[in-house]
Amino acid sequence: MIPIRNFRIVVQYEGTRYQGWQRQDSTGNTIQGKLEVILAKMTGLDFVQVDGSGRTDAGVHALGQVANFKIDTELPAEEVMDYINQYLPEDIGVLSIEEMPERFHSRLNAKGKTYQYRIWNSRIPCVFERRYVYELAEDLNLDAMKAAASYFVGTHDFKAFTSNKKSKKSTVRTIDEIQLERNGKELVITYSGDGFLYHMVRILTGTLIEVGLGQRTPESMAELIRANATRDLSGALAPAKGLCLVEVRY
């Protein structure tokens, strides 16, 4: 009898044409869905479940999404990876594979994540990177944005920074660091923390952009991380295409 083996993979994808990570009944056009179809074909099973470290929205990209799946196969790990990559579309790729203990779970065992949001802050179009950046022509005050971002570092209730109004789970999260770096016409915001709520990074970014445009003050951020703050008090939801999941830590 072939034993069940638990594999962890690191997946990279350009999310432009996909409806996010999570499998959906209404479409097969998701990252999770594509992986599951290929693994079912490889094993001859009707279904193989692939668990990701978390969901990414439609249009969001990933440099280092982590997922795991359990299959009974005698194939070496590298051959499993080669098989998956053979049938994946060109905008999704498995970068590495590793056999893990049975109890490993890519989401439940994750200790932290890093996301990056890229803003092309110029009136000149960003032709070749347009799928990966949010193009914003108005000048941004970087110093004001840095001052605002400092309020979010630490452990806070980020209820005002999620679009999920129905969840009864805790909205308290810890952000370890937020870096804002300007490189020519591009502004990159890097978020590292123990975990992020639904739409949290995009709403944080939208709020920081409003500070950069002079529509909010850095000091007003203090009101947004109070326990009774609500979504209507925070900023706009920044476009998905500027966001990328960089790393998942274990």
Domain boundaries, the chain: 4-100, 112-249
Query: Is 230 in a helix, a strand, or coil?
Result: coil
Indicate the pTM of the whole model. Answer: 0.95
pLDDT of 3 strictly over 90: no
Region of 131 on the Ramachandran plot (φ > 0 left; ψ -120 to 50 alpha; else beta): alpha
Q: Is it true that 4-100 and 112-249 share their CATH fold?
A: yes
Within 8 A by CB and 6+ apart from 90, the residues are none
Question: Is 139 tagged catalytic?
Answer: no
CA distances from 80 to 6, 35, 86 (A): 12, 12, 10
User: Do the Cβ atoms of 8 and 67 come closer than 8 Å?
Assistant: yes
> Taking the domain 4-100, which CATH number applies?
3.30.70.580
Largest CA distance in the chain: 66
Report percent pLDDT > 90 for the chain. 96
Catalytic hit among 25, 51, 57, 139: 57
Quote the pLDDT of residue 9. Answer: 98
Average pLDDT over residues 45-68: 97
Quote the pLDDT of residue 168. Answer: 80
Domain 112-249 is of which CATH architecture? 2-Layer Sandwich (3.30)
Quote the pLDDT of residue 1. Answer: 67
